[in-house]
């Protein structure tokens, strides 16, 4: 098979106290608790998660607290409050959470509640089910004391109306990528104007892993469209014996390869977190080479030893790390030259 494989190693960050960087197979490792999350906005989310991890708290509590930060951020238009709406003007949220015991909960196409991740956690803890969707998820949230909110901010409404004027009234696959391809480099996914899903993974002082993933999904999607983020195994997977993984980017391609589960199984076979993420990216390329060239997908992984890594299809993916006294954002390695 001809492989047009143009992996460019992004700059390694400066050596960091307590971490291991090996030049041949670059691995990064934390001793003690650690939280990692997708994109540059993960840094602020990690701060909240770290408050729990640093005081011996549970990784499940840390990831929930962490991802609530971008969920509530009015400047972040791809997660929670102020998320870009679907093509009919409805803000619909997808989220899931998973703990060290394999317990998991998820909401799909939830409306009118900012903290979808907390509703997902309650699905896990208070119901016999794993997934609640749409109106049922909303009714459940109301029954648990959440307040009905309007998530569509004036800025998101204006962006939607602008999109309606320029685009046909039909779903545009990969609209996020279309936007960044048409704009300068700082508009890449993860740049200041074009964020995406937050996926967060944490290892606590008891050596237990948890993860959370939350998003408003693809901007201006078809009504009812659900991406990878609330699907256990696709947008998030945690196996406390091995490690945890999460994904960001165009969810359709992640679902096709059950991406996060694939990454964890790669680690089970002995791959480093970064190599497992690269293997999942290569699977996407192999399945749909023409599609893969024009979309962004990124994977992030953390194993039980505190090693972590990431890999994406395209330049522009970043991830945030907090461990000990280290707080940084690292550019992800990627498959295609842009």
Smallest distance from the beta carbon of 224 to ligand GLY, in angstroms? 13
Q: Which of 66, 80, 227, 266 binds ligand GLY (CB under 6 A)?
A: 227
Residues 6 or more apart from 128 whose CB is under 8 A from it? none
| Interface stretch with ligand GLY, choices 12-20, 134-142, 245-253, 311-319 (CB under 6 A) | 245-253
Residues 6 or more apart from 194 whose CB is under 8 A from it? 176, 179, 180, 187, 188
Q: What is the DSSP letter of 42?
A: H
| Interface stretch with ligand GLY, choices 68-76, 116-124, 211-219, 271-279 (CB under 6 A) | 211-219
Nearer to ligand GLY, 59 or 215 (CB): 215
249 lines the binding site for ligand GLY (CB under 6 A): yes
Looking at beta carbons, which residue is closest to ligand GLY? 227
Rounded CA-CA distance 30/18 in Å is: 6
* Residue 197 known to be catalytic: yes
Smallest distance from the beta carbon of 162 to ligand GLY, in angstroms? 21
Rounded CA-CA distance 300/58 in Å is: 20
**Look-up: residue for tokens 């990690």?**
46
**Helix or strand holding residue 93 (H, E):** strand 93-98
| Interface stretch with ligand GLY, choices 12-20, 119-127, 215-223, 279-287 (CB under 6 A) | 215-223
Smallest distance from the beta carbon of 324 to ligand GLY, in angstroms? 30
66 lines the binding site for ligand GLY (CB under 6 A): no
215 lines the binding site for ligand GLY (CB under 6 A): yes
Nearer to ligand GLY, 240 or 248 (CB): 248
Q: Which of 264, 312, 315 is nearest to 285 (CA)?
A: 312
Q: Which of 57, 251, 298, 316 binds ligand GLY (CB under 6 A)?
A: 251
332 lines the binding site for ligand GLY (CB under 6 A): no
Smallest distance from the beta carbon of 256 to ligand GLY, in angstroms? 12
Quote the distance between the C-alpha of residue 125 and its chain's center.
22
| Distances in whole angstroms, Cα of residue 171 to Cα of each of 35, 85, 88, 155, 198 | 35, 12, 10, 20, 23
Strands 236-239 and 209-215: unpaired
Show the tokens assigned to 107: 């909401």
Smallest distance from the beta carbon of 128 to ligand GLY, in angstroms? 26
Catalytic residue among 38, 114, 197, 246: 197
Q: What is the DSSP letter of 40?
A: T
Chain positions contacting ligand GLY, by CB under 6 A: 197, 215, 217-218, 227-229, 248-251
Which positions are catalytic? Answer: 197
């Amino acid at each position: 098979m001809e492989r047009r494989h143009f992996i460019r190693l992004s700059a390694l960050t400066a050596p960091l106290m307590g971490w291991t960087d090996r030049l041949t197979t670059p691995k990064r490792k934390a001793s003690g608790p650690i939280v990692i999350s997708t994109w540059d906005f993960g840094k602020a989310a990690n701060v909240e998660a770290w408050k729990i991890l640093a005081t011996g708290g549970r990784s499940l509590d840390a990831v929930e607290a962490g991802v609530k930060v971008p969920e509530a951020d009015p400047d972040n238009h791809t997660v929670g409050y102020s998320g870009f709406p679907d093509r009919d003007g409805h803000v619909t949220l997808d989220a899931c959470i998973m703990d060290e015991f394999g317990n998991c909960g998820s909401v799909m196409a939830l409306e009118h509640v900012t903290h979808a991740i907390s509703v997902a956690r309650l699905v896990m803890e208070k119901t016999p089910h794993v997934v609640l969707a749409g109106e049922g998820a909303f009714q459940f949230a109301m029954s648990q004391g959440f307040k009905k909110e309007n998530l569509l901010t004036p800025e998101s409404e204006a962006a939607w109306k602008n999109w309606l004027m320029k685009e046909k009234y039909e779903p545009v696959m990969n609209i996020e990528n279309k936007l960044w391809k048409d704009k300068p480099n700082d508009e890449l996914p993860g740049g200041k104007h074009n964020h995406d899903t937050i996926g967060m993974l944490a290892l606590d002082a008891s050596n237990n892993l948890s993860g959370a993933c939350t998003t408003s999904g693809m901007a201006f999607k078809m009504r009812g469209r659900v991406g990878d983020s609330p699907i256990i195994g696709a947008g998030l997977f945690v196996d406390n014996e091995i490690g945890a993984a999460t994904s960001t980017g165009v969810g359709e391609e992640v679902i096709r390869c059950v991406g996060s589960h694939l990454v964890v199984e790669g680690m089970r076979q002995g791959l480093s977190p970064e190599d497992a993420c690269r293997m999942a990216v290569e699977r996407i390329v192999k399945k749909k080479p023409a599609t893969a060239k024009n979309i962004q997908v990124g994977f992030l992984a953390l194993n039980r030893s505190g090693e972590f890594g990431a890999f994406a299809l395209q330049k522009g993916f970043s991830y945030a790390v907090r461990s000990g006294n280290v707080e940084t954002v690292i550019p992800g390695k990627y498959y295609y030259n842009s």
